[in-house]
């Protein structure tokens, strides 16, 4: 009797193991997303997109239960370099075609689509202590000015706008992205800065924005693309589709971005 008993016991264990294996596999299969099981999508985006993309990220998560959108906001130039150096990401939204080109030239992104445009404004503290009224006022050595560094899109746009106006400015600081530049104004550390119109709008009450005609000669187009090595390729495509949709356009234009 012992031989059959042992065989029956062993067979029972094998059956239990098989059932357990099936049981543990079923939830994983049912929760898998169309991206081969990936449930997170990572978006690298220009700092000026922080508010709008955060809102769109929540919309995307609500439409795709169980999915999490992780953002890396910063200077487009820095983000492009991070992608080229191998940082894992699914989507790249840049503040200029030049920074997107860094990624497409490395064959790391699909064909980009321009989804919005942005132009510069002069941002001054709410009380405007230096009495800045126009672009040429920034050339006064008594006026402390913050600019974005030239290699980042807001800095490149500032250089172009100042050249178009024939105005020479000696900034007291050069910042690595537009948010850091605007913060200098909000804290009262500078008298003025050149930042995007969208950032001025987002900081309403803390700063005052001043339009100037040469801004029309330094408009930045914003391209977006899925990355060729995206770990969550399908989710990446769907996030880009959301940004390009009417719903995405409504969020972006409300924030002050212009249609391309």
Cβ partners under 8 Å of residue 52, min gap 6: 198, 251, 252, 255, 257
pLDDT in tens, 110-167: 999 999 999 999 999 999 999 999 999 999 999 999 999 999 999 999 999 999 999 9
Rounded Cα distance, 118 and 20, in Å: 56
What is the CATH class of 40-117+221-254? alpha beta
Rg (CA), the chain: 25
Class in CATH terms, 120-217: alpha beta
How are beta strands 120-125 and 113-118 bridged, if at all? unpaired
pLDDT tens column, 177-206: 999 999 999 999 999 999 999 999 999 999
Q: Quote the crossing angle between the two packed helices 97-104 and 153-165, to the nearest 10°.
A: 140
HSE at residue 68, side-chain half, CA atoms within 13 A, is: 2
H-type helices in the chain, by residue range?
A: 2-31, 50-63, 76-84, 97-104, 153-165, 178-186, 197-202, 233-244, 246-254
Q: What is the pTM of this model?
A: 0.82
pLDDT tens column, 40-87: 999 999 999 999 999 999 999 999 999 999 999 999 999 999 999 999
Instruction: Give the pLDDT band of residue 89 (cuts 50, 70, 90).
Output: very high
């Amino acid at each position: 009797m012992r031989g059959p008993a042992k065989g029956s016991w062993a067979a029972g264990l094998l059956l239990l193991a098989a059932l357990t294996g099936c049981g543990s596999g079923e939830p994983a299969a049912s929760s898998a997303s169309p991206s081969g099981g990936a449930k997170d999508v990572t978006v690298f985006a220009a700092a000026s997109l922080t508010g709008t993309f955060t809102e769109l990220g929540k919309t995307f998560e609500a439409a795709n239960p169980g999915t999490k959108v992780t953002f890396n906001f910063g200077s487009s130039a820095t983000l492009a370099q991070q992608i080229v150096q191998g940082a894992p990401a699914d989507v790249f939204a840049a503040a200029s075609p030049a920074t997107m080109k860094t990624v497409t030239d490395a064959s790391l992104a699909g064909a980009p689509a321009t989804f919005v445009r942005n132009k510069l404004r002069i941002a001054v503290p709410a009380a405007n202590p230096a009495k800045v009224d126009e672009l040429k006022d920034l050339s006064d050595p008594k006026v402390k000015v913050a600019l974005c560094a030239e290699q980042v899109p807001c800095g490149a746009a500032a250089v172009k706008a100042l050249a178009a106006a024939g105005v020479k400015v000696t900034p007291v600081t050069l910042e690595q992205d537009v948010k850091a530049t605007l913060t200098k104004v909000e804290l009262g550390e500078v008298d003025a800065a050149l930042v995007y119109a969208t950032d001025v709008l987002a900081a309403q009450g803390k700063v005052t924005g001043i339009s100037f005609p040469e801004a029309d000669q330094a408009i930045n187009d914003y391209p977006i693309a899925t990355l060729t090595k995206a770990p969550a390729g399908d989710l990446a495509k769907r996030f880009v589709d959301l940004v390009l949709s009417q719903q995405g356009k409504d969020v972006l234009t409300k924030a002050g971005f212009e249609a391309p």
